[in-house]
Amino acid sequence: MEKSELRVRVPAGTTLLEAARAEGYPIGTDCGGFGKCRRCRSLLLAPGRRGEAAPAPPSWLDPPTPAEQRQLSQEERDAGWRLACQVRVKGGLTAFVPFPEDRPARKSIDTQLPVRIKPWAERSTIWLRGKGEKEEGVLVERTLSALRRRRPGLRIDESLALRLPSPRQGAEGRDVPLTVTITNGCVVDLECEKSERKAYGAVIDIGTTNLCGYLIDMATGALAAESARPNTQREWGADLMTRVLAASPAERGGKDALARLSRAVRRDVDEVLTDLLRRVRAKRRHLIALIFVGNSVMHHLFLGLPVESFGFAPYAPLRKEGVAFRPAEKGIRLPPSSRAHFFPLLAGFVGADAVGVALALNLDRTKGDRAILALDLGTNVEILLGIPGESLWCASTPAGPAFEAGEIRCGMTSGPGAVCEVDVRDGEITLRTIEDAPPRGICGTGLIDAAAGLLECGVIDPTGRMRGAEELPAGTPEDIRRRIFETGGSRKFMLWGDASPLSANGVYLDQWDVRKLQAAKAAVRAGVGLLLAEAGLGWGDVGDVCLAGAFGTSLRPEKILRIGLIPEKPPEHIRSVGNAAASGARLALLSRTELKRAGEIQERVQYVELAGRPEFEKAFIEAIPFPA
């Protein structure tokens, strides 16, 4: 069976999407199964041999829903295309699914960032000379007093007494090893043995779509393992606002709405941790410290705090300060001795991940004479600005899902076969796809590249309009001309393959895709402009531009300049910084001072609220056209 061909039993009354999910074969969605994105489109065929399969007979299926009529053209529907989130199947058939859910993209953490290791949680072995103690616990008592002598003010966790190990009797005159875990100045764990095992810390980045975990060796700061998985909450909807709604008892959610979404993400965290520990064959007990980052909504949902306030102006979080907690209390299978911190939030839509970025890039202590601008490009774009003289500013601007190729006609996440690079040179188009697999769709970087390339060869004019073949300047190569076509009321440009709906393998750019990209880049550009103005700076005062996040990693500076995502700048000043949120969290895992700094960043940052600012509209509209 081919990978994208799917055979599942679909119980009566369930959609294909639900059935596939239940069978552990998730189909990709952008809109969370609400019939709004078309990513779940699937070709339903009556069983037959490959190549001769016919569209499934209508009697086996419910008629297309209004959502399907909107999202799929008549040609596509005639050929047997349906939306998996809508269609309920009655008979046995084969579904060809062009976009199964992709593996979460790898986001690289920077473990080279310099840090003086001074952890707030450490595990070390000490040796005590046995005095032939007979009584249980005496040795432990002695250990604790010895420790206290060495470190005045050291506290003992109350729950430790309940969990004290029974020591092997300290033989007279022999040295006995004891391994102590001290977290935040408090003894939280004691093992009556010498531990060969390392102590680990973990950075957990909870994203709306995926979770990433990084296991860090607490002694060296090295990366020991990494793991990622999709966020189960996506079943309640793809974007944050749908999640907010789903977790609000008064709205869609029902009484235990919040609890259900909390439980889902906590279970995901637990699985990521289990996987990380399995990879290095470590025990749960050896994971002594964790730092969590994520956007504000994920922060609240994970901690179990109500999220209604994010849904309505002024879109504020219930709680902004950093939170220290025991993972065990959040249903994570770790011993009570493991301790965790969730980074503070900067605003409703500038979350704990932004604090990580600021730490990693030292934005609160920007040196030199020019400011540093950091952009975390996603559905919601966090903008951070570090100005020399220790001033730090932030804002959030909503780009919509275009940068992740969401709601783009042939859009897909950056899985195998996603067109990720497009170059147009001398009228010749070259594509590169992820893993060099045959093109299946286009991802965010591909979208930006395609727009940049088509602007360059005149297929897209500076207003963003796609020109018809006959309007193209004389001398435009025939190969470019013949790729322009029109169906379903809008112009399109074929990047690869042919446009036959049954073939499912044409990858094209639609006029509306260009419009969505324009809205996204205008939101960023307007947000950056307003933030700079508020901070009293101009574009000339900005030195480096750092692009954070999985998406930022693969962007090419010339391309983002070509579409005007940011104003002119020498490309060498634009750099990718990977998963800077996690890189910053790692620093705080390894150093008390850095953890404290996370709190200071929250206290000091100046947040610029874009909502309710009349200048935004003007800046946004002015930023919609492309640079000529």
Partner 1 sequence: MPRDQELAQGIIRGDRESVVRLTREELDAGREAVGILNEGLIPGMDVLGERFARGEAFIPELMAAAKAMNAAMEILRPLLEASGVESLGKVVMGTVKGDMHDIGKNLVCMMLRGAGFEVIDLGVNAGAERFIQAIEESGARLLGMSALLTTTMSRMGGIIEEIRKSRAGAGVRIAVGGAPLDLAYANKIGADGYAKDATVAVECFKGLVAALRTP
Q: Which residues bind ligand FES (CB under 6 A)?
A: 29-31, 33, 35-40, 71, 83, 85
397 binds ligand B12 (CB under 6 A): yes
Judged by CB, which is closer to ligand B12: 56, or 402? 402
What gap in Å lies between CA 266 and CA 301, rounded to an integer? 9
Q: Measured from the CB of residue 578, what is the shortest distance to ligand B12 in angstroms?
A: 23
As to burial, measured by CB atoms within 10 angstroms (0-12 exposed, 13-18 middle, 19+ buried), residue 580 is buried
Residues 6+ apart with CB under 8 A from 508: 409, 410, 492, 493, 494, 495, 499
Stretch that binds ligand B12, among 57-65, 221-229, 441-449, 607-615 (CB under 6 A): 607-615
What gap in Å lies between CA 460 and CA 121, rounded to an integer? 56
Residue whose structure tokens are 């993972």: 327
Judged by CB, which is closer to ligand FES: 16, or 530? 16
Nearest in space to 447 (alpha carbons), one of 512, 498, 393: 512
242 binds partner 1 (CB under 8 A): yes
CA-CA-CA-CA torsion sign (52, 55, 60, 61): positive
Taking 3-state DSSP, the helix, strand and coil percentages for the chain, each rounded to the nearest 5, stand at 35, 25, 40
Interacting partner of 464 out of ligand FES, ligand B12, partner 1, none (Cβ under 5 to 8 A depending on kind) = partner 1
Judged by CB, which is closer to ligand B12: 170, or 529? 529
389 binds partner 1 (CB under 8 A): no
Nearest in space to 128 (alpha carbons), one of 114, 116, 115, 139: 139
DSSP one-letter code for 207: -
Q: How many residues does the chain have?
A: 628
Q: Which of residues 492-551 bind partner 1 (CB under 8 A)?
A: 510-512, 514-515, 518-519
Residue from 28, 167, 348, 444 binding ligand B12 (CB under 6 A): 348
What gap in Å lies between CA 403 and CA 552, rounded to an integer? 10
Residue from 90, 92, 622, 627 binding partner 1 (CB under 8 A): 622
Stretch that binds partner 1, among 88-96, 484-492, 573-581, 584-592 (CB under 8 A): 484-492
Interacting partner of 396 out of partner 1, ligand FES, ligand B12, none (Cβ under 5 to 8 A depending on kind) = ligand B12
Size of the site for partner 1 (CB under 8 A): 37
What gap in Å lies between CA 559 and CA 556, rounded to an integer? 5
- 83 beta partners: 41
533 binds ligand B12 (CB under 6 A): no
Answer whether 61's CB lies under 8 Å from 90's CB. Answer: yes
Judged by CB, which is closer to ligand B12: 56, or 412? 412
Judged by CB, which is closer to ligand B12: 399, or 455? 399
Interacting partner of 490 out of partner 1, ligand B12, ligand FES, none (Cβ under 5 to 8 A depending on kind) = partner 1
Interacting partner of 379 out of ligand B12, partner 1, ligand FES, none (Cβ under 5 to 8 A depending on kind) = ligand B12
Nearest in space to 202 (alpha carbons), one of 550, 596, 590: 590
Interacting partner of 485 out of ligand B12, ligand FES, partner 1, none (Cβ under 5 to 8 A depending on kind) = none
Interacting partner of 66 out of partner 1, ligand B12, ligand FES, none (Cβ under 5 to 8 A depending on kind) = partner 1
Q: Measured from the CB of residue 236, what is the shortest distance to ligand FES in angstroms?
A: 13
Stretch that binds partner 1, among 247-255, 415-423, 574-582, 591-599 (CB under 8 A): 247-255
Q: Which of residues 443-472 bind partner 1 (CB under 8 A)?
A: 463-466
Query: Please, what is the Cα angle at 352 between 348 and 357, to 5 degrees?
Result: 120
Nearest in space to 393 (alpha carbons), one of 530, 491, 228, 497: 530
Judged by CB, which is closer to ligand B12: 269, or 619? 619
The 3 state secondary structure assigned to 510-527 is EHHHHHHHHHHHHHHHHH
Which helix (DSSP H) or strand (DSSP E) does residue 382 occupy?
A: strand 380-387
409 binds partner 1 (CB under 8 A): no
Residue from 166, 533, 611, 627 binding partner 1 (CB under 8 A): 611
Q: Measured from the CB of residue 390, what is the shortest distance to ligand B12 in angstroms?
A: 24
Answer whether 397's CB lies under 8 Å from 408's CB. Answer: no
- Which positions touch ligand B12 (CB under 6 A)? 239, 241, 315, 348-349, 379-380, 396-398, 400-401, 519-520, 523, 609-611, 616-617, 620
